[in-house]
Structure 1
Amino acid sequence: MLEGTKISTPSQMSSIFDIAKDTVLFLLLSCYYILESLFWTLVPNIIRPMKSLKDEVVLVTGGGGGVGRQLAIKLARLGAKVVLWDINKEALEKTCAALREEGHEVASYEVDLADRESVYKTAKRVKEEVGKVDVLINNAGVVFGETLLELNDNAIETTYKVNILSHYWTVKAFLPDMINSSKGHIVTVGSVAGLLGTYRCTDYSATKFATVGFHESLFTELRAHGHNNIHATLVCPYYINTGMFDGVTPRLMPMLEPDYVAETMIDSIRKNEVNCIMPGSVRYLLPLKCLLPAKMCWDLMHRVMKGPQSMMDLKRKPKVA
């Protein structure tokens, strides 16, 4: 009669006790984490402790223009040693000239992030000529603005190589030195389009979704191996007025300005934040994607936010041969 009854062994009982103990501890810590988060959210940046970036070597990919240029200028003004990477030599020279006019030293490298060997060779040069990179900001990105059937294969591959694969090569190049010195910060620039699929962005959105997974997995690996002094920050901004999304006409919120995005990113880095979504109000809308019926989500996107309609006038980028 009792043949089919499972009898708990001491090891099973121990396991149940451990789960219960860890759950109670988690709930207690959760209360602390929520209160801590609320406290720091309410405390103005001007009076909260912020880490210094003075004399830190900060590498910014895509530093030739847009947000990258603003990051370079603001970081240099904070006393950081700025290293810029970009494929656009002319834009790179303009950013460097602007920094040098203010009396800042800057190291710049023309590099094609779509070329893995170029990334590794340039990283080696940076370590030899400048030194260990303390903060790595993977900021570079491309968008072609075509629907799936209009995208040519090379454009798709380029988007993946620049927007996500290059993150692997740069992090693999600079993370070992951060681990050896037990100090570092890796910033992954994603997008709100990496949290919510966007019309005419099957390549771009997919790569930005990948940056979110990359960041979360990397963060997990760093914490699991005890590298608590190496920080990881994911940045997901809304449309930015840099020319990348020329022609787009958002309905509910205006485009973000590069100056604001760069300032917010730097504040987030200095606070060692794990996630930075701009504007902050977007984070409260994102859970609706999972909570609401799919048809309701589509109607909200199409009828109220007019997301697809706003992207229809996006100016197409040059074709990749």
Structure 2
Amino acid sequence: MYVILEIIQTICYLIYCIIEATVRIFVPEKKKSFAGKLVLVTGAGHGIGRELSLKFSAIGARLVLWDINKDNVESVVREIQENGGTATSYICDVSKIDEIKSVADKVRREIGDVDALVNNAGILHGAAFLTLTDEEIKRTIDINLLAYFWTCRQFLPPMINRNSGHIVNVASMAAKKGVAYLTDYAASKHGVEGFTDALSDEMRREGYDGLYFTTVFPMFVDTGMTKFAHDRLSKMLSPAEVASAVVEGVQRNKKSVYIPSNLDWSVRIGGLFPRKFVDEPTDLMYRGIDPQK
């Protein structure tokens, strides 16, 4: 009897979710305000990180910018300040857990608890698997994945205490489909997706309904990291395009942000295609890179 009731309850919940999703297509969730909120962005000195910092500042957020390059990140701080915004920079090598802990502690003492954490810092080698050095593989995982663990462990507890906060983890479309010469990169980005999904579900199960998690899935972006890209169906994205889509998605509490947005449907529909078509696409459909070294 109880199983039948649970089946009915589940069907009703499914119908509710379908109706809600349909309504959201035509009536998006209202944008939340970031005015006065403290947003921390890693890898903020260039590329997507720089543009994210400028976009969040433009909607009123106060920025804490982390980067390994002092000149670059201080340049972004000056740009934000010249536009009337508030930003502070910190030098941090996110491949080192002790440095993350130390700089995070400094941020808390000097500025306070962050309202939103944007894990953006990343690297890409783009080499054949057997030519990658042990250190290159380790560094990719350290920066692209493990750093996300360490920053979340530093900044999530205060969010939990006040049941309010947003964590944004930048993955990649390589998280959805691994391709040649991106073995280490794709593995790290698959990890980012799995980590974010699991952490989000854990917070939901523990009753923290004021915490939000967003995973970002951009296609090839013109940041200088990706060279020799193959993608005949779409153009190389600019960092500004990516940042605009991310900030828009975060303001609407989206769990996933695909850039360009049509990739969301491509991923869904792709599951219906024969496996051979997905694993061995034609030249027209193939998206990947040539070796970069």
Question: TM class, shorter-chain normalised?
Answer: over 0.9
Structure-2 change in CA distance of 1:288 and 1:150 (3 Å)? farther
Structure-2 change in CA distance of 1:69 and 1:226 (3 Å)? same
1:19 aligns with 2:3: yes
Q: Which residue of 2 aligns with 1:4?
A: none
Q: Which residue of 2 aligns with 1:307?
A: 287
1:124 aligns with 2:105: yes
State how far apart, in whole Å, the 2-side matches of 1:82 and 1:196 are.
33
TM-score (norm 1): 0.87
Q: Which residue of 1 aligns with 2:54?
A: 73
Cα root mean square deviation, aligned: 1.6
Give the SS at the match of 2:130. Answer: coil
State how far apart, in whole Å, the 2-side matches of 1:146 and 1:250 are.
18
State how far apart, in whole Å, the 1-side matches of 2:2 and 2:108 are.
46
**Larger Rg, first or second structure (1 or 2):** 1
Q: Specify the code of the residue in structure 1 equivalent to 2:212.
A: H
Match 1:97 to one of 78, 81, 89: 78
Percent identity at matched positions? 33
Q: Which residue of 2 aligns with 1:200?
A: 181
1:141 aligns with 2:122: yes
Give the SS at the match of 1:233. Answer: strand
Q: Which residue of 2 aligns with 1:295?
A: 276
Give the SS at the match of 2:241. Answer: helix
Q: Deviations over 1:223-244 (max 9, x none)?
A: 0000110111111111111111
Larger mean CA deviation between 277-286 and 68-77 belongs to: 277-286
State how far apart, in whole Å, the 1-side matches of 2:73 and 2:194 are.
30
Match 1:32 to one of 16, 22, 30: 16
Q: Deviations over 1:137-189 (max 9, x none)?
A: 11111000101011011000000000000011000001110011111111111
In structure 2, stretches of 5+ residues that fail to align are none
Q: Specify the code of the residue in structure 1 equivalent to 2:118.
A: I
Give the SS at the match of 1:149. Answer: helix
How many residues matched?
293
The alpha-carbon deviation at position 290 of structure 1 amounts to: 4.4
Give the SS at the match of 1:49. Answer: coil
Is 1:288–1:297's contact at 8 Å kept on the other side of the alignment?
A: no
State how far apart, in whole Å, the 2-side matches of 1:124 and 1:232 are.
23
1:87 aligns with 2:71: no
Q: Specify the code of the residue in structure 1 equivalent to 2:80.
A: L
**Runs of 4+ in structure 1 displaced over 6 angstroms?**
none
Higher relative contact order (CA 8 A, sep 6+): 2
